[in-house]
């Protein structure tokens, strides 16, 4: 089974146990700082709409309220929550540049849906496909898809938003995210069978593969370009632990630094000033917003 699907399937069975443990924790506004404690994910893959007013996200099945699992949208102030779909496994979410459509992975296929919940459309219908990212020109969607390379199960492909053309970009890449310029794709990449993955960029042609991180003791994933293309946010967990944390690195690989403990799957606001993420502290698991430097944290979903 592919690494991406493993990640999603391993996280969510922890929900019930950790919700029980969370009752004895501190207030979520002051999350604990231990690196290796259990983590909680209730709402995840928050994606900021181009107009800056709405967040699309996934609320998974907790086994208590299965009909509540699916793709949601909510205003950034936590109001006007609307459920768009009913799936208990979603892998990645992104908006079209015009803000009219949302693309997402459901189980092993990629779909798009209008922001009002109409016109659910499959973009793929075979293989195993995850983590879509809509290109800045609005015409192409990049995603990871099954391949037969020797190191990992997946490679990166792009598909037209009308399904008329599908192009292979590179092997061994997963969790891709398009740069605002449309020239590069940042992604997680396994280049060894024994070492954790690192972050790389590659041209949309498949050329100029560039390694950004060199951390053999961290698993780095879910990278996202800032709107100006100068920075990349991402999640990372220590190879010796299980908790996720948030980091930022310049798009050339310089100035890597941690901006928050207990965070997963970040995405940037359209103006580049804030980040939406899942607060993975065991007494939260919900979507939060913070300044790009990690300050002024505010809870969005309840």
Handedness of CA 40, 265, 131, 196 (dihedral sign): negative
| pTM of the model as a whole | 0.86
Domains of the chain in sequence order:
3-299 (2.120.10.30)
- Which uninterrupted H or E stretch holds 266? strand 263-268
Handedness of CA 91, 96, 102, 108 (dihedral sign): negative
| The pLDDT of residue 147 | 52
- For the chain, the first-to-last Cα distance in angstroms comes to 33
Burial class (CB in 10 A: 0-12, 13-18, 19+), 46: buried
89's CB contacts (< 8 A; 6+ apart) are 8, 9, 12, 60, 106, 107
Q: CA 38, CA 16: separation in Å to the nearest integer?
A: 12
Could you tell me if 210 and 190 are in contact, meaning their C-beta atoms sit under 8 angstroms apart? no
| The pLDDT of residue 243 | 86
Backbone angles phi, psi at 290, to 5 degrees: -145, 165
| The pLDDT of residue 239 | 80
Could you tell me if 269 and 286 are in contact, meaning their C-beta atoms sit under 8 angstroms apart? no
Backbone angles phi, psi at 168, to 5 degrees: -80, 135
Give the pLDDT of the chain (302 residues) as one tens digit per residue.
344 443 443 344 343 333 323 322 333 223 334 445 678 999 999 999 999 999 999 998 666 566 789 999 999 999 999 999 988 789 899 999 999 999 999 999 999 999 999 999 999 998 899 999 999 999 999 999 985 444 445 799 999 999 999 999 998 899 999 999 999 999 999 877 778 899 999 999 999 999 999 988 899 999 999 999 999 999 999 887 778 999 999 999 999 999 999 999 999 999 999 999 999 998 899 999 999 999 999 999 99
């Amino acid at each position: 089974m592919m690494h991406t699907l493993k990640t999603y399937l391993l996280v969510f069975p922890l929900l019930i146990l950790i919700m029980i443990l969370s009752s004895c924790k501190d207030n979520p506004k002051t999350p604990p700082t231990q690196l290796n404690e259990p983590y909680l994910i209730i709402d995840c893959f928050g994606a900021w709409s181009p107009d800056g007013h709405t967040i699309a996200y996934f609320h998974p099945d907790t086994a208590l309220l299965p009909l509540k699992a699916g793709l949601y949208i909510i205003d950034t102030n936590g109001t006007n929550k609307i459920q768009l779909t009913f799936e208990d496994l979603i892998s990645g979410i992104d908006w079209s540049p015009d803000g009219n459509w949302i693309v997402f992975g459901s189980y092993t296929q990629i779909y798009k849906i209008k922001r009002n919940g109409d016109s659910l459309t499959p973009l793929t219908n075979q293989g195993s496909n995850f983590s879509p990212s809509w290109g800045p020109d609005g015409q192409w969607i990049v995603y990871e898809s099954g391949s037969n390379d020797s190191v990992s199960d997946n490679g990166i492909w792009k598909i037209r938003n009308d399904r008329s053309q599908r192009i292979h970009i590179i092997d061994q890449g997963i969790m891709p995210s398009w740069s605002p310029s449309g020239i590069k794709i940042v992604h997680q990449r396994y280049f060894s069978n024994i070492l954790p993955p690192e972050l790389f960029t590659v041209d949309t042609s498949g050329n100029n593969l560039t390694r950004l991180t060199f951390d053999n003791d961290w698993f780095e994933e879910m990278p996202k370009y800032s709107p100006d293309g100068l920075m990349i946010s991402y999640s990372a967990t220590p190879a010796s632990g299980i908790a996720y944390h948030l980091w930022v690195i310049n798009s050339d690989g310089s100035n890597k630094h941690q901006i928050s403990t207990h965070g997963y799957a970040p995405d940037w606001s359209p103006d580049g000033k804030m980040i939406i993420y899942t607060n993975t502290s065991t007494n939260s698991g919900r979507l939060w917003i913070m300044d790009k430097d990690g300050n002024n944290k505010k809870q969005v979903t309840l």
